[in-house]
Chains A and B, each alone.
Chain A
Amino acid sequence: MDESPEHDLVEDARRGSREAFAGLVRHYERRIYGLVFRMAGNHSDADDLAQEVFLTAWRSIASFRRGSSFYTWLYRIAVNTALTFLRKRSREKDRTEFNENLAGADAADGAYTSPEGSSALNELKGRVDEAIESLPGHFRMSFVLVVSQGLSHAEAAGILGCSENTVSWRMHKARKLLQARLKPYLGEVRS
């Protein structure tokens, strides 16, 4: 089933074949999971979101237009699902905004005071994950699509429904925000 061309799988799935859709799920589940995990920040929510993405895709696959890219269409569903989840969670938990002073406050708690040492790499990865999670929604989505998912600016722009320049600008701003937050771990930030 997985060896069938994607086009055939999509066409069969549009006609109601759950087997064909299962082939598409197997092909994209890791990438979709990686995307929503980066947005949700934990495996429990990522699992729920990934399931929701594929359920939404199954419900609306009849509306998928032939000739367009299935993975772009699926990524759009994932992006919308993840952003909706973030907005909902933001309302519920009143999450704190990204602020550049947070890094200083975190540095005082002692757990991550020294990026040097044997566990420095793991500590840095944990800090980077936290910092990415605290980025504003659209910055985070652009960053995850380009850095974590390895998409080009053009592909990310197609999924997000914006221009390549917008993606480029968001990436630049996201990096500046991350640099500011991770200053003690990445080095001095020069303006």
Chain B
Amino acid sequence: MRCETMKKWLSDDLDGALAPTKKARLEAHLRGCPGCRADWACLARLQSSAAPAEDRSPEYWTGFEERLGSKLAGIERGRRTVCVPFSARRKWAWAAAGFLAIAMAGTYFAVSRAAGTVETAWVSYEDSLAPLLQEAEANPEFGSLVNREILASIEELTPVPENELTVPSADDPLFWEGLSEDELRYIALELERETGRGGLK
């Protein structure tokens, strides 16, 4: 347990991170512990073997800086020539997409509504008349009935000429209700003159 603690301190000491008081205790322990001394030698050898890699040639660093410089210039050029147009292009793309969506939606509703109307009228006509006409052709009695109904409906829809209009008679109660005060007074005077009775009070 004590040796484990010392190994941790040994690691800190190799990094120059061990407090002076602990360093003194570590050195005292190493003097009396061959195992920890061997570990210390082992770690010191590891430390020296893990030295930084050898520096590269001056030509390498010149090339490194040149390549980096050209990449940095590329970034600047990219910012100027790519980024701004891309943002403007993106705005136009959004606008075009919105316009297209609205146009497609409008077209869809227009076509679907028109198609629905035509289809409904066609289906209604087919559903109502076609079966009746087919049955009328097959059944003469039913055919005559259909003919009468059709003629009656045509007559109802045909305007009646004025000379064929019927004049209401005095027997019709509606006749008297439809007369004005002047017309009633005129009728009463005529009746008094013809019959000697009645008249206006």
Enumerate chain A interface residues (CB-CB to B < 8 A).
Answer: 18, 21-22, 25-26, 29-30, 33-34, 37-38, 43, 47, 50-51, 54-55, 58-59, 121, 124-125, 128, 132, 143, 146-149, 152-153, 164, 168, 171-172, 175-176, 178-179, 182, 186-190
Q: Which A residues touch B61, using CB under 8 A? A: 29-30
Give the number of residue pairs across the A-B interface with Cβ within 8 Å: 100
A55 touches B72 (CB 8 A): yes
A185 to nearest B CB, angstroms?
A: 8
Contact of A34 among B47, B53, B64 (CB under 8 A): B53
Instruction: Let me know if B67 and A186 touch, CB within 8 A.
Output: no
Instruction: Give the distance to chain B from A31, nearest Cβ to Cβ, in Å.
Output: 9
Counting CB contacts under 8 A, is B16 at the interface? yes
Q: Can you list 30 A-B pairs with a CB-CB distance of less than 8 A? A: A18-B69, A18-B76, A25-B65, A29-B64, A30-B61, A33-B56, A34-B52, A34-B53, A38-B52, A38-B53, A43-B56, A51-B64, A51-B67, A51-B68, A58-B75, A59-B75, A146-B15, A147-B15, A147-B47, A153-B17, A164-B17, A168-B8, A168-B12, A171-B12, A175-B14, A176-B7, A178-B46, A186-B45, A187-B41, A190-B3
Q: Looking at the complex, which one of B7, B14, B46, B47 makes contact with A182 (CB distance below 8 Å)?
A: B46
Are the CB atoms of B65 and A22 closer together than 8 Å?
A: yes
Give the size of the chain B interface in residues (CB under 8 angstroms): 36
Interface flags for B1-26 (1: CB within 8 Å of A; 0: not) read 00100011001101111000000000
